[in-house]
Amino acid sequence: MTQTSAQASAGGLTSVQTAAVKSELEVVLKSVHFSGSKRCHDFLEFVVLRALEGDTESLSERFIGAKLFGRPIDYETATDAIVRVRANDVRRRLAQYYLEPHPVPEVRISLTSGSYLPEFHFLAEAKTVAIEPAPPKAPPDSHAVDGGAVAEARVESVSRRRLWLWLKWPVLIGVPVLVLAAVLAGILLKHRAVPDLAVRQFWAPILREKGTILICAGGNTYAQVPVPGFFTADKETDYPYFSLQTEVSTTLLSALIERSGSTPLFKFSASTPLPELHEHPIILLNAFNNQWTLRLVESHRFHFSPENKPDHSIVDGKQPEVRWVRDTKIPYSSADDFALLARFWDTTTDNWVVVLAGLGRNGTEAATQFAVNPHYMQLLREQVGSDFASRNIEVVLKVGVVDGKTGAPTIVAVNTW
């Protein structure tokens, strides 16, 4: 049974259930996923306790921003995404926590997607309900199947019906049709499998060990001096900001990693020392606010210009006159971005590294979308060749940007070794 905070305020939770939620909250907050992040710790504690008190009015983005993050009550939530970013981080940490082996708790805590209302899943009661006769299974295209499962179920259903029709035909008109059907089915399956294979091959060196994968992202901080604005956060920054594009990238990567049976671990780059990079395969997000991205690719053919250069660019080490840079004559929200996508064995960390980093935040998002998309990865695989799964690869991408929104990436240069 799942109870939302709204139900709790209406008396939906008994005193025993309320005590169970508080007990589970205490355990979760002491875990490594929350004890190491004061903001995530405080965020989860705040929303759960407010929900248990029935104070759902305070669980709004504006109020949380003011109460937890020191924003003025009339701050611009459309441009300051601190609450949304932290909520996504809390959701991810909760998912990571419950993926680990634990004694079965009385209740699980989750944070509703798209809001800041916690949900409480009372597992023992859910088990009691589960022993009743199960309802009839919904058809594959039912709305009971959510997200990508709908498309997969429909494809599977259609494929099975087509295969059944092919198998019936030989009975009516002879064996040659079966042979033809087998050939056509093989071509179809090969055509569908190749794009998925490209994604699997690209990520194979990172994901093959089924362990923890480190996602290391650059962050920013807001300062009033010398002029008001956002600046690269350093290791002394307690609470860095992460762009929405970085959050989208982290979500896409976490889903990919979890589907493979591995566990994503998110880290702020400035506070991540070199020894931690020895422990796990690494995914580096962002460029000029992530010192590890700049350092680990600086010896490669395609790399980023020094951080202190005013015109941030991607440079071709073999052709110094070639570089990719955003057009400063066009507003930032409409200027094409460029990104570096790379996968290589790094001798400094003694680990596999994937870099997904744009000159701007749109480039980082586009590089991530490219890396998890079967169509894009197949295009890259065709350029690299049959040893795609094992070679070190660098790709420069061009990304269209319209009104600040990230467009489709295209390949402009490839280097392998």
Encode pLDDT of 103-136 as tens digits: 888 899 998 777 899 998 887 654 322 223 334 4
The pLDDT mean for the chain works out to 79
Amino acid identity of 7?
A: Q
My answer on whether 336 and 369 are in the same domain is: yes
Pick from 50-64, 127-141, 227-241 the range whose average pLDDT is largest: 50-64
User: Does the pLDDT at position 151 exceed 70?
Assistant: no
My answer on whether 240 and 100 are in the same domain is: no
341, 416 contact by CB (below 8 A): no
Does residue 136 lie within any of the structural domains? no
Which of 98-102, 141-145, 402-406 comes out lowest in average pLDDT? 141-145
My answer on whether 9 and 157 are in the same domain is: no
At 52 the pLDDT is 92
Domain boundary among 139, 171, 199: 199
Does residue 72 lie within any of the structural domains? yes
d(CA 148, CA 153): 9
Does residue 138 lie within any of the structural domains? no
Residue 297: both structure tokens together? 């690719």
Mean pLDDT, residues 386-408: 92
Pick from 131-135, 166-170, 236-240 the range whose average pLDDT is largest: 236-240
Tens of pLDDT along 331-347? Answer: 988 899 999 999 999 99
Q: Which domain range does residue 34 map to?
A: 2-130
My answer on whether 124 and 61 are in the same domain is: yes
At 77 the pLDDT is 82
My answer on whether 171 and 316 are in the same domain is: no
My answer on whether 224 and 193 are in the same domain is: no
96, 88 contact by CB (below 8 A): no
The CA-to-CA distance between both ends of the chain, in Å, stands at 54
CA angle 384, 390, 396 (to 5 degrees): 45
My answer on whether 285 and 234 are in the same domain is: yes
At 104 the pLDDT is 81
Does residue 140 lie within any of the structural domains? no
414, 394 contact by CB (below 8 A): yes
Amino acid identity of 3?
A: Q
Domain boundary among 164, 184, 199: 199
Domain boundary among 159, 183, 199: 199
Does residue 137 lie within any of the structural domains? no
Confidence of residue 295 (pLDDT cuts 50, 70, 90): very high
My answer on whether 162 and 308 are in the same domain is: no
At 224 the pLDDT is 58
User: Does the pLDDT at position 184 exceed 70?
Assistant: no
User: Does the pLDDT at position 54 exceed 60?
Assistant: yes
My answer on whether 297 and 382 are in the same domain is: yes
Does residue 73 lie within any of the structural domains? yes
Confidence of residue 227 (pLDDT cuts 50, 70, 90): low
Max alpha carbon distance in the chain (Å)?
83
Does residue 135 lie within any of the structural domains? no
Does residue 238 lie within any of the structural domains? yes
My answer on whether 262 and 369 are in the same domain is: yes
My answer on whether 94 and 223 are in the same domain is: no
My answer on whether 215 and 320 are in the same domain is: yes
- What is the total count of domains within the chain? 3
At 189 the pLDDT is 42
User: Does the pLDDT at position 386 exceed 50?
Assistant: yes
